[in-house]
Amino acid sequence: MIQNTITGLRVIVPPDPWLAVLKGAVLFCKNLLQISERIARFSYGFAVARIFKKAIDSVGLRFNLNGITYCNEVFDKMITKGEILVKGT
């Protein structure tokens, strides 16, 4: 899990993340007169696999697929804490 690979940071995962996103989208669309931008309180992203980087990746997360070495559960950040999020973009 991503929580085990990131040290020094608190990782928050809702019990049902996809449902949390869906509920947020529904609430967001119900009120069209709401605030047009907001500041991200947290960083958001996904756990992904990418090409293994020997200098920075943990050997414990390494795996091979079709002769290529990958690193599993890398945090791919989509939104950074403090970033201004503009409605509709």
DSSP secondary structure code for residue 33 in this structure: T
Per-residue pLDDT tens digits for 33-65: 667 888 999 999 999 999 999 999 999 999 999
Q: What is the pLDDT of residues 14-35, one digit of tens each?
A: 888 889 888 888 887 776 666 7
Please indicate, yes or no, whether the overall pTM of this predicted structure exceeds 0.75: no
- Tell me which of 87 and 85 has the higher pLDDT: 85
**Cβ–Cβ < 8 Å for 37, 85:** yes
Which helix (H) or strand (E) segment holds residue 86: the answer is strand 84-86
Q: If we measure between CA atoms, which residue out of 89, 88, 48, 55 comes closest to residue 71? A: 48
CB 45 within 8 A of CB 73: no
Closest CA to 39 of 89, 88, 80: 80
Q: For residue 11, what are its two tokens?
A: 């990782």
Checking if the pLDDT of 82 tops 80, the result is: yes
